[in-house]
Amino acid sequence: MEHGAVTADFLGLTFNLSNVLMITVSSVIVFLIAVLATRSLSMRPGGMQNFLEWVVDFVKGIINSTMDWHTGGRFLALGLTLIMYIFVSNMLGLPFAVAVDHNLWWKSPTADPTITLTLAVMVVALSHYYGVRMKGVKEYGAEFFKPMKFLFPLKIIEEFANTLTLGLRLYGNIFAGEMLLALLVSLSHSGIFAGVLGIFPMIIWQGFSVFVGAIQAFIFTMLTMVYLAHKVSHDH
Amino acid sequence: MQYLILGAAAGGGLNTGDILYQLVAFLILLVLLRKFAWGPLMGIMKERQSHINSEIDAAEKSRQEAKSYLETQIEELKKAKEEAKAIIDNAKKQGEAQGEAIIKASRDEAERVKEAALAEIASEKEKAVATLRQEVAALSVKIASKVIAKELDESSQEKLINEYLQEVGESR
């Protein structure tokens, strides 16, 4: 159950080839779902268009619950891409995992803290970028000294804490899910009886992981919007 | 269990390439989806929204129109009813007046006819009385002459004739 990873060095950067593969797969799947669903758009939606419009309305609901639509509308594409990318990523590791020579190839890309923290840092960086752009440097800077001046260090810590919790929450949930699945699968190595017995908790855990993956995608998007709203909105 | 703690750092160091790759992949995905999926989808959703809006507006408008039409129709109907009533009343009044006039005319006519009849009766009566008188006179003369003829004898006849002759002669 302890798998290594194949790495490659390129231009001084270290690539985990499994991550590269799974990021590509996730992106391609999300792209295909979105593009195929929106290929034949009609005023009376059916099938996939209906589903995607439901997703759009869902993300709209998330944004509307954190900020007003006038400022939040621009984040709709970000939220949609995030929730679908993370959901698909979370699902990828569930049906199976592929390991070649004890090197794990097929897994959820979100079961890797590097990936989730990259997304989290991106989101927090975006929130700072939009905070400066939409409120100006002065008002953006003043936010760090509210409501009391001595809270400034806490505010700085908060930013890092936000980033870490956002990334590690997602990583922890997905990684734990996959780890338990791997453990249940490894039961079958210790005998046919244990293997058959292990199928039932595995089915249950897979169902639960689908639920957890969906919830985590939702939470990640929700928190993204909360952080963005915190930086962007004026009424604080 | 070391893997659990180190996570992605399985290779021993930070996978800086993964970070870059994830960032680039996500941004490309974001841009592509914005262009090929969310844009058109948002467009059609907005279009539908405005379509529904305009349809609701149109429905509201036509409902108002129908309402006002109905009101004017009711007004017209009321007017027409009143007019009809007035016409009927007029006709009734006219009919009554005409009837009365006819009755009066016929009454007058009857009166006139009666008068005429009475006058005729009176004149006829007079005529009859006159005729009767004549007849009676003639009859009485006849009777008288008959009576007289019987009573006259020869001598008196001669005497009479003589008297007549004498009178004739005298008158000559």
What's the pLDDT tens digit per position in A5-64? 677 777 777 777 788 888 888 889 988 888 888 887 777 777 888 888 888 889 889 888
Contacts A–B by Cβ distance under 8 A: 134
Please state the rounded mean pLDDT for residues B146-165: 78
The answer to whether the CB atoms of A81 and B26 lie below 8 A apart is yes
pLDDT of residue B4: 40
Tokens 């908790």 correspond to what residue?
A201
Asked whether residue B53 carries a pLDDT value surpassing 80, the answer given is yes
Tell me the residue range of the domain where B21 lies. Answer: 2-171
Contacts of A23 in chain B (CB under 8 A): 18, 21-22, 25
Per mean pLDDT, which range of A31-40, A97-106, A153-162, B101-110 is the poorest?
A97-106
Q: A117 or A186: which carries more pLDDT confidence?
A: A117
Q: Establish if B149 touches chain A: CB-CB under 8 angstroms.
A: no
CA distance B68 to A218: 51
* DSSP-based three-state secondary structure for A42: coil
pLDDT of residue B70: 95
Residue B107: which pLDDT band, with cuts at 50, 70 and 90?
Answer: very high
Number of domains comprising chain B: 1
Of A3, A118, A175, nearest to B22 by CB-CB distance is A118
- Radius of gyration (C-alpha) of chain A in whole angstroms: 21
Tell me the residue range of the domain where A79 lies. Answer: 7-232
Residue at A104: amino acid letter? L
Whether A2 maps to a domain, the answer reads no
Residue B154: which pLDDT band, with cuts at 50, 70 and 90?
Answer: confident
Whether A130 maps to a domain, the answer reads yes
What's the pLDDT tens digit per position in A74-124? 888 888 888 989 999 888 887 766 766 667 778 888 888 888 888 899 999
What's the pLDDT tens digit per position in A77-87? 888 888 989 99
Q: B44 to chain A: nearest residue by CA?
A: A43
pLDDT of residue A190: 75
Of the candidates A150, A56, A9, A88, the one whose C-alpha atom is nearest the C-alpha of residue B26 is: A88
A1, A3, A7, best to mutate vs chain B, most B CBs in 10 Å: A7
Tokens representing residue B47 in the block: 């279009």
What's the pLDDT tens digit per position in B7-39? 444 445 677 788 888 888 888 888 888 888 888
| Average predicted confidence (pLDDT) for chain A | 83
Q: Establish if B51 touches chain A: CB-CB under 8 angstroms.
A: yes
Q: Is the ipTM of this complex over 0.90?
A: no
A24, A83, A114, A178, best to mutate vs chain B, most B CBs in 10 Å: A114
Number of domains comprising chain A: 1
